[in-house]
């Protein structure tokens, strides 16, 4: 179909002759019936998937009942990974279009092939796209390859040294104040593993085929900053993207290696597939060096978070109850699933090593029991104590196979939560 379809909402039950569906058709209009749906938002998103599966790619959200939240739910379910389709909004069009633009950019980055999106390409794309929004307010710099080691960023260098394409740390400074001494209100840290083979702890093919998505954390925080800037963000924010390919070669890091971080922490490598926390550690140290008042990191970090929460929620880790409550409130306002999992001081010691201060994991399948909390505990060694707190988001739901709510690939779950936290900073 190529003609625009009007999509209406109804609080009436669907006529019996339409069967169990909640969608009825009349001419060039479709009606989504919500009377028998216990969760209107999920029903609208599921209806958008059904319409997509019937070949509809051009819609207008018409009539009454279209709240901003329901329109966004429809947009979240509509379209395919490479064919997003077009939507005519029913009110709040500028804001919704900005959100969709950010989400589609996030998805395009995540869906890019590993060959097309090297660490340097990812860093350059983010820097160029964000700088174009506010060139007088943004500066950036890249630290590439061996320069990382000279600067002390041993995690990014160690993970990325096995690839012929060098690892990169991108530091981007958005400073709308014009004051070079203005405090950094928030530091965003994103895991940017553009392809994750697992290294010498190599993944099976079934686990590796989607690993172009392992830069989803970097895409999420970059897109959130983009959206916040468009919304008029007036606080200084620094963005750190920790970009590398985790590959196997004669130069790759190995099990038993010891990394010595700038903050004095030594780390024994017991699993080269637990690489995300190694690069994030550098980003967290950099954020602390910048004196950030709040630090938010985002990463497709552990399968354990996905096992715990599935694809409807991201995992929240935070050592401060008040700060955790702020994050959960932001997620609720954004209508995004976020669930707090345990992070206590004991978790910093859950990856013990005889040869270093800590190991990067536990030498068990999946990192052993409590793997997501153990990974967060590892990161807590590098997070410092920013006065407004540290928030770690394990993006369990950010990349899923096609289901009744989302197309295959990136979901952009977490984008609006991070944006909301930036606007509230």
**Catalytic residue status for 277:** yes
Q: What is the DSSP string of 118-156?
A: -HHHHHHHHHHHHHHH-TTTEEEEEEETHHHHHHT-HHH
Using CA of residue 45, residue 51, residue 53, residue 55, what is the dihedral sign? negative
Q: Which residue has the tokens 């606080």?
A: 235
Alpha-carbon distance 323 to 319, whole Å?
8
Alpha-carbon distance 316 to 296, whole Å?
11
**Catalytic residue status for 50:** no
9, 35 contact by CB (below 8 A)? no
- Write down the catalytic residue from 203, 231, 262, 333: 203
- Write down the catalytic residue from 142, 226, 238, 277: 277
CB atoms inside a 10 Å sphere around CB 129: 14
Alpha-carbon distance 188 to 195, whole Å?
21
Longest CA–CA separation in the chain, Å: 71
Cα angle 191-194-197, degrees, rounded to a multiple of 5:
105
CB atoms inside a 10 Å sphere around CB 142: 19
277, 374 contact by CB (below 8 A)? no
Best CA proximity match to 304, nearest among 333, 273, 335, 283: 273
241, 218 contact by CB (below 8 A)? yes
Active site residues: 203, 277
């Amino acid at each position: 179909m190529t003609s625009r379809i009007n999509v209406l909402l109804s609080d009436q039950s669907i006529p019996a002759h339409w069967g169990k569906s909640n969608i009825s058709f009349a001419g060039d209009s479709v009606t989504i019936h919500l009377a028998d749906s216990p969760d209107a938002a999920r029903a609208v998103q599921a209806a958008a998937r059904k319409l997509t599966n019937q070949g509809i790619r051009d819609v207008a959200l018409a009539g009454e009942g279209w709240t901003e939240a329901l329109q966004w739910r429809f947009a979240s379910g509509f379209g395919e990974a490479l064919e997003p389709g077009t939507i005519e909004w029913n009110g709040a069009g500028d804001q919704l279009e900005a959100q969709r633009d950010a989400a589609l950019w996030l998805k395009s980055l995540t869906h890019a092939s590993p060959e097309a999106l090297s660490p340097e390409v990812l860093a350059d794309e983010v820097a160029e796209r964000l700088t174009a929004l506010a060139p007088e307010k943004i500066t950036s710099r890249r630290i590439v390859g061996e320069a990382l080691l000279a600067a002390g960023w041993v995690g990014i260098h160690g993970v990325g040294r096995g690839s012929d394409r060098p690892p990169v740390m991108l530091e981007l400074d958005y400073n709308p104040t014009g004051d070079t001494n203005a405090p950094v209100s928030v530091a965003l840290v994103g895991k940017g593993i553009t392809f994750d083979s697992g290294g010498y702890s190599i993944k099976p093919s079934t686990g590796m085929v989607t690993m172009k998505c392992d830069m989803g954390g970097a895409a999420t925080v970059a897109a959130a900053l983009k959206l916040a800037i468009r919304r008029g963000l007036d606080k200084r924010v620094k963005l750190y993207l920790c970009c590398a390919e985790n590959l196997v070669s004669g130069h790759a890091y190995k099990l038993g290696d010891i990394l010595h971080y700038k903050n004095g922490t030594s780390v024994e490598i017991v699993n080269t597939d637990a690489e995300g926390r190694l690069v994030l550690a550098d980003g967290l140290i950099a954020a602390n060096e910048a004196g950030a008042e709040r630090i938010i990191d985002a990463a497709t970090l552990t399968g354990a978070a996905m096992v715990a929460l599935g694809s409807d929620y991201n995992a929240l880790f935070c050592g401060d109850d008040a700060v955790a409550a702020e994050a959960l409130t932001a997620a609720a306002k954004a209508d995004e699933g976020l669930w707090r999992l345990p992070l206590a001081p004991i978790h910093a010691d859950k990856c013990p090593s005889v040869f270093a201060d800590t190991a990067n994991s536990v030498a068990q399948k999946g990192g052993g029991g409590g793997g997501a909390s153990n990974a967060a505990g590892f990161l807590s060694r590098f997070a410092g104590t920013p006065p407004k707190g540290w928030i770690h988001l394990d993006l369990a739901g950010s990349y899923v196979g096609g289901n009744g709510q989302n197309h295959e690939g990136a979901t952009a779950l977490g984008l609006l939560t991070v944006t909301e936290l930036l606007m509230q900073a």
